[in-house]
Amino acid sequence: WLRGPDAALISYVFYIVAGAVAAWHADAVLAFTRRHALAILGGAAAAVAASLATYALQLTVGGMSPNDASAVFQPVLVLESAAVAWALLASGVLWTDRNMPRRRAVLALSDRSFGVYLVHPLLLTGVLSAATAAGVASAVEGMPAAAQLTLLLLLVVPVTYIAAAIVTGLFRSAPLSLALTGRERSVQTRVARRAVP
């Protein structure tokens, strides 16, 4: 567990318990979030800044590799993850409370979000396998860390999430939607099928 915490379910207990406690007290959590939404957003920004500063210090002063410095269970990353999750909740509450336009894309993406979470590791594995087979992975490994990060943030991450959203959208209308996306088949598909004679 200490050598590879990201592979052990026990590593995720904090998130599971925190989510369960928040769900159990959903009314109180939402009321608190409504009252303090701006502070929560500011706290998340501070947590991201602390995480970036810690990462830079671990690289420069601590002599850690980029991989070790960005490991998912670094204590500052646990704080950042919780803060960003809460900021997303606060953003959603603000969006809803202020009657912001419910654009079709936002609704479609929120419907697909869990499926994207489920599908993206499979897509990343496929991309990594293809990049390794084509020799692209070794070329990228030879690039400076800043170039790798830029490539990752500007190309790999957006393309992966867009592809995952498209794949999830296709699965949402399938009879096995629950198994493939974590949600029941989309209502629009069920209604359309009932309307067909």
Percent of the chain beyond pLDDT 90?
24
Residues 6 or more apart whose Cβ sits within 8 Å of residue 82: 15, 18, 47
Instruction: Provide the mean pLDDT of the chain.
Output: 83
User: Predicted confidence band at 21 (pLDDT cuts at 50, 70, 90)?
Assistant: very high
- Residue 16 in this model has a pLDDT that exceeds 70: yes
Lowest mean pLDDT among 44-53, 126-135, 147-156, 170-179: 170-179
What was the pLDDT predicted at 43?
96
Average pLDDT over residues 122-132: 87
- Residue 20 in this model has a pLDDT that exceeds 80: yes
What was the pLDDT predicted at 94?
87
Question: Strand ranges (DSSP E) for 65-170?
Answer: none
What was the pLDDT predicted at 191?
44
Query: How many other CB atoms are found less than 10 A from the CB of residue 95?
Result: 13
Q: Among all chains, which residue has been given the structure tokens 């995480």? A: 51
User: Predicted confidence band at 165 (pLDDT cuts at 50, 70, 90)?
Assistant: confident
User: Predicted confidence band at 189 (pLDDT cuts at 50, 70, 90)?
Assistant: very low
- Residue 152 in this model has a pLDDT that exceeds 90: no
Q: Among all chains, which residue has been given the structure tokens 């959203």? A: 165
* Ramachandran sector of residue 4 (left: φ over 0; alpha: ψ -120 to 50; beta: rest): beta
Distances (CA, A) of 164 to 27, 81, 109, 121: 32, 21, 11, 9
47-105 per-position pLDDT tens digit: 999 999 998 898 888 888 887 787 777 788 888 999 999 999 999 888 888 776 666 77
Torsion angles phi and psi, residue 65, rounded to 5? -75, 155
Handedness of CA 56, 60, 65, 68 (dihedral sign): negative
